[in-house]
Chains A and B, each alone.
Chain A
Amino acid sequence: MSGLLWGAMSVIRKDLLAEGRAGEVLTVTIPFGALALLFFPLSINTDLAVIRQIGPGIFWAVVLLFGILVTLRATAADPPQCRDLLLLSGVEPASIFLGRTAAGTLLLLVFELVLAPVMVVFYSPEGIAGWPWLFVVAGLVAIGLAALGTLAATLSTGLPSRSAIAPLLVAPLAAPILLAATETTDLLRTGQGIIRWILLLVAMDLALIIAGMLVAGPLEESMQ
């Protein structure tokens, strides 16, 4: 167990260090996501009532679509030599999956936290009811999306069409995450209970992490 966590910590450190040097998420994906948030009112309707209604849904859709880009960032794709070195150092495939998912989760959280004020300013200037709960939802969405993205990124490692195939694999399975996130925001606005949607997110996250750890070994084997 400690070996698993030690390996995961090493991968988190490596991934965050690589991202810190490249700055792909901070300098490219986040501004791109914010720009997408600005495009929707222009393409749909500039009526404030409509914008307030659709704002949270658009925010989560942008988080999902651009979050895929965060999980597929170039710094998360190890060259074969790096993968071999990790395995030779005794880092298990499940550790690599866990570490990569954790690093992806942290970057997705940053992505969500930077985009949330943009959404509030342009879509809900009066604020969002029950917003402290949204931190919990944002965390759970980030974990699920990072696990899915890591799995898809591993499956499409080294493919010329990686940037097209991986999102095609992530988006359909991320639908329950998007549904739970938008429903929670809607229910918070009307002051209703959100616990069953939170439980759905927790169940999805756990299922994805367990599935990812279980298939990490066979996937690594297929890449040798």
Chain B
Amino acid sequence: MKTQSVIGGAAVVVMGVGLFLAIEVPPEQVQGDFVKMLFIHVPSVMIAYLAFTVGLVGSLAYLATKNTSADRLAAASIEIGVVFTMLTLATGMIWGRPTWGVWWDWGDARMVSALFMLFFYLGYLALRRGVTDPKTRAGRTAVLGVVAFVQVPIVHFSVTWFRTLHQPATLFRPDVGNAPLDSVFVPPLLTALAAFLLVYLAFIRARYRLADRQDELAAAQMTSELAGSAVAEPILGGVHE
């Protein structure tokens, strides 16, 4: 509980610093103050990638060791990745309306691939909820966690492979030295990234512990006596032998 509070507290502090830095940043030449939306949008997608990568590692670890902790870690991370992907899409749309003039463009490779990735991982969560037996659930979702990850590089490199509306990657690009980012925007962006990372750590820890409790509860319910167990078949005037 103490570690959880420390991580959560640190996330709040770093987020406050990031917010201050973002407010202090001057407006961008073309985008004006809307550039500040990218301090949420870019870290969100980075954390979503990280969450799905942890999901992949957890899934592979489960397939190799059959350790339920790995399954819980994968599920918790993917669930948080879904939340951050939703945040990415929402902030991208809010930023896109004043900058590009549209909320959504069906011809854009990044937007469409990210949306499909979100739906596929929602399918992962639906499958998880649909299977009640823990062993079967862990085995099936581990396979799906590995297959689903193929979409992460597709989403990231879609802006390189297809030249559509979305601009090329700002971070994690092949020619990293030529990142098209003015140095004034780097400190708030990196601070926001650190804050989001702490939020992810706090969330994953909480979700993992919750999954642990849920499994304990499910196991207890499986072994506890049913309401009708105390009643035996009727025997005339006597007791059971």
Q: Point out residues on A near B: beta carbons under 8 Å.
A: 151, 155-156, 159-162, 164-165, 168-169, 171-173, 175, 207, 211, 215, 218-219, 221-223
- Asked whether A215 lies within 8 Å of B139 as measured between CB atoms, the reply is no
- Asked if B120 lies at the interface with its beta carbon under 8 angstroms from chain A, I say yes
- Asked whether A155 lies within 8 Å of B112 as measured between CB atoms, the reply is no
- Asked if B13 lies at the interface with its beta carbon under 8 angstroms from chain A, I say no
Render B12-46 as a binary contact track against A, CB cut-off 8 A, 1 for contact. 00000000000000000000000000000000000
Total CB contacts across the A-B interface at under 8 A: 64
> For A151, what are the chain B residues with a Cβ–Cβ distance below 8 Å?
147
CB distance from B132 to the nearest CB of A (A): 9
- Asked if B111 lies at the interface with its beta carbon under 8 angstroms from chain A, I say no
- Asked whether A159 lies within 8 Å of B63 as measured between CB atoms, the reply is no
Which 6 residue pairs spanning A and B have beta carbons closest together?
A222-B139, A172-B120, A172-B116, A168-B123, A169-B123, A172-B119
| Assembled-state Cα–Cα distance A168/B138 (Å) | 19
| Assembled-state Cα–Cα distance A130/B126 (Å) | 42
How many of chain B's residues have a CB under 8 angstroms from any CB in A? 25
- Asked whether B116 lies within 8 Å of A175 as measured between CB atoms, the reply is yes
- Asked whether A165 lies within 8 Å of B139 as measured between CB atoms, the reply is no
Q: Point out residues on B near A: beta carbons under 8 Å.
A: 63, 112-113, 116-117, 119-120, 122-123, 126-127, 130-131, 135-136, 138-140, 142-144, 146-147, 150-151
CB distance from A218 to the nearest CB of B (A): 5
Which of A159, A164, A165, A215 is close to B147, meaning CB atoms less than 8 Å apart? A215
- Asked whether B117 lies within 8 Å of A169 as measured between CB atoms, the reply is no
- Asked whether B136 lies within 8 Å of A169 as measured between CB atoms, the reply is no
Contacts A165-B123, A172-B119 given; indicate if A222 touches B130 (C-beta within 8 A).
Answer: no
Contacts A151-B147, A172-B117, A218-B63 given; indicate if A156 touches B130 (C-beta within 8 A).
Answer: yes
Contacts A156-B127, A159-B131, A165-B130 given; indicate if A219 touches B143 (C-beta within 8 A).
Answer: yes
